[in-house]
Structure 1
């Protein structure tokens, strides 16, 4: 059986040449700005069931932008390279068990750390994520201590995030901590989403916040409805376009590697698909892209979220799916470059 990489390589070689972007679209951000046009990149997210072909299609889509001379950055969530991502990875591989609300907040925090700021305390014993409209989440993570910072003495009083530090921090330690934190931020592969978009770089994202909402809601935990799952995502950069690669869960199961991770169960995938199709139908009830007879999920989908969701049939050939994705993406890029979607990316509401 051919691997995903083999299919992607073959599709790139055999597919027809992509439609050229207009001159206005191929100019650099600086030239676009001087010409009075927008200079930001387009934020595109590919969603879908596990094994629906997202990784292959992101690779093909990236190639289109490279050939057009457009700056492009690929991101994937969860980002398993971070301390939070490593905890998520252990959960998905069933190495550890976590309560539904806890793992949901970890998934959300993983997106927030790529979107805005990762804050590390000067003691580096606790990792704090601050999410707007949500509570402070703290995780005991001694393994994220930057090299060069001494461990706190056992004789020192315990640190509380809700009270002032019991003693004045060493200024030299603060300076060194800030230097190491800044260095870590600069080296992160998942550089801040908002900054990349503002610089004119298009972001192609393999999963984002809607996956977090759909997968958690699909667990059918009575205390974790869609409204609860959506709350910590509010304020994240909102994609200009979300493409849901629609594939029957039975077809996904037949593909190689299905079942390797926790969520790769046919019943779970079927519920996730129902939720996504419901969100797509709500996003644009009159669009032909959502004309599929999407079944109503057990719980109503979020209303008025302003998501730009398009359903793409992922059961076709790799080449046909890639062509349909490019047609949708190119049209949205033209809108962004024309200023129709605003000079800056929106936020999740």
Structure 2
């Protein structure tokens, strides 16, 4: 087992702000440098819970807002022990969406902020959150096939963005905001510079929990 742990890098932001492209670029960069890394995405749709979430997101099933919020949280909890074990063995995880998305999307639907955060307390706290910031209008203009899933509605995305901004201000010690509308190459370079610094600092640090 490695004497130093891996890092936990989370990407957050509105739908269609380039999270999938940038997580893949970062994963490729780390593995090319010989760093053991894994790329994960929440919701993780292959489990039984994940399949219910997928049916909800694709408008095949309706559930009360409170129920689907708790299912999103349960989806994170069912995978967190495996993530923790691999991190302690030296694997760096690059995570596309995490607890902050869970809270932001539910708060945007009108649920209370503290209630939305409560089910995720105790999960692994990220070493860094890469926040890809773009207005919802810009995100829509730059992406095709928008509107296919439940949450891809312009006014709703604006509300989600307000909550992400609140997280970024509140958790500024480990949230890093980037302009998602710049070129993919420039954005990747800026993200890589931050992640390189995080990877230098995390091996000797204990895992923290969301509180």
TM-score by length of 2: 0.97
Alignment correspondent of 2:114: 227
Question: 1:314 aligned to 157, 161, 180, which one?
Answer: 180
In structure 2, how many angstroms separate the alpha carbons of the residues matched to 1:203 and 1:346?
15
Partner residue of 2:149?
261
Q: Which has the higher helix share?
A: 2
- 1:101-116 maps to which residues of 2 (within 5 A)? 101-116=66-81
Task: Check the 8 A contact 1:252/1:258 in 2, yes or no.
Answer: no
> For 2:193, which of 320, 327, 343 is the aligned residue?
327
2:7 is matched with 42
Pick the aligned partner of 1:205 from 78, 95, 110. Answer: 95
Cα pair 1:94 1:261 within 8 Å, conserved: yes
**Which deviations, in whole Å up to 9, do the C-alpha atoms of 1:10-67 show, x marking residues without a partner?**
xxxxxxxxxxxxxxxxxxx64xx3xxxxx10000000111111000001100011011
Q: CA RMSD in A?
A: 1.1
RCO comparison, higher one (Cα < 8 Å, 6+): 2
* 2:24 alignment partner in structure 1: 59
Query: CA offsets, 1:303-337, max 9 Å, x none?
Result: xxxx7211111010000110111011111111113
Q: Which protein has the larger Cα radius of gyration, Structure 1 or Structure 2? A: 1
Alignment partner, residue 78 of structure 1:
43
Q: Does 1:243 align with 2:130?
A: yes
1:212, distance to aligned residue in structure 2 (A): 0.3
Asked if 1:347 corresponds to 2:198, the answer is no
Superposition pairs of residues 86-235 of structure 1, within 5 angstroms: 86-116=51-81, 192-220=82-110, 224-235=111-122
1:108 is displaced (CA, Å) by: 0.3
Contact 1:214 1:275 survives alignment (8 Å) = yes
Determine if contact 1:90/1:96 at 8 Å carries over to the other structure. yes
TM-score (norm: length of structure 1): 0.59
Q: Shift in Å at residue 237 of structure 1? A: 0.8
Aligned length: 210
Aligned residues of 1:213 and 1:230 also touching (Cα < 8 A): yes
Structure 1 segments (4+ residues) deviating >6 Å? none
CA distance in 1, matches of 2:163, 2:92: 27
Question: What runs of 5+ residues in structure 2 fail to find an aligned partner?
Answer: none
Shift in Å at residue 271 of structure 1?
A: 0.8
